[in-house]
Amino acid sequence: MINDLIADALTRIRNAAMRRLDVTTLVHNKSVEAIANILVEKGYIESCNVVEDGVKKTINVVLKYDENGKTVINELKRISKPGRRVYKPASEIKRFKNGYGTIIVSTSKGVITNDKAHELNVGGEVLCTVW
């Protein structure tokens, strides 16, 4: 059994990118689906869709590469872990890597990016960073 589905999803994406795979499969969870949708919206992955196989759900993620065959994702890092949760107020959630990176935050308004959290003036649990 997997304790941390978000860390598992990020690791699967990282490993698939290192092996230059086109598609990888993630275990479905609402927060994992929200993170995958943010990665699509920000242009880090090509697409994602939920596949239902009876009771079990999975998320198929199509990875994105540049013209040289290098992955678009330079770093995908889990910040808040089950053993050590990291919460930040709205004033501390600002730009990441001078605007080139994205912080994904779980707030009362849902799972959103650092730009949206700063715009809505809400803080929350810092799930992961990507650039």
Task: Give the β-pairing of 124-130 and 23-27.
Answer: unpaired
Q: Regarding predicted confidence, which is higher, 50 or 95? A: 50
- In this structure, what token pair is assigned to residue 114? 């650092």
Amino acid making up residue 15: N
- ∠ CA(55), CA(61), CA(62), 5° rounding? 145
Residue 99: per-residue pLDDT: 79
1 pLDDT higher than 80: no
Residue 97: per-residue pLDDT: 84
- In this structure, what token pair is assigned to residue 79? 């910040």
Amino acid making up residue 12: R
- In this structure, what token pair is assigned to residue 17? 């990118």
d(CA 36, CA 20): 18
User: End-to-end CA distance of the chain, in Å?
Assistant: 29
Tell me what the pLDDT averaged over the chain comes to: 94
Residue 20: per-residue pLDDT: 95
The mean pLDDT value for 67-91 works out to 94
- pLDDT tens figures, 3-18: 899 999 999 999 999 9
Residue 98: per-residue pLDDT: 82
Residue 95: per-residue pLDDT: 84
- pLDDT tens figures, 92-111: 998 888 878 999 999 999 99
Q: 58: pLDDT confidence band, cut at 50, 70 and 90?
A: very high
pTM of the predicted model over 0.75:
yes
Give all domains of the chain, ordered by start, each with its CATH number.
Answer: 5-130 (3.30.1490.10)
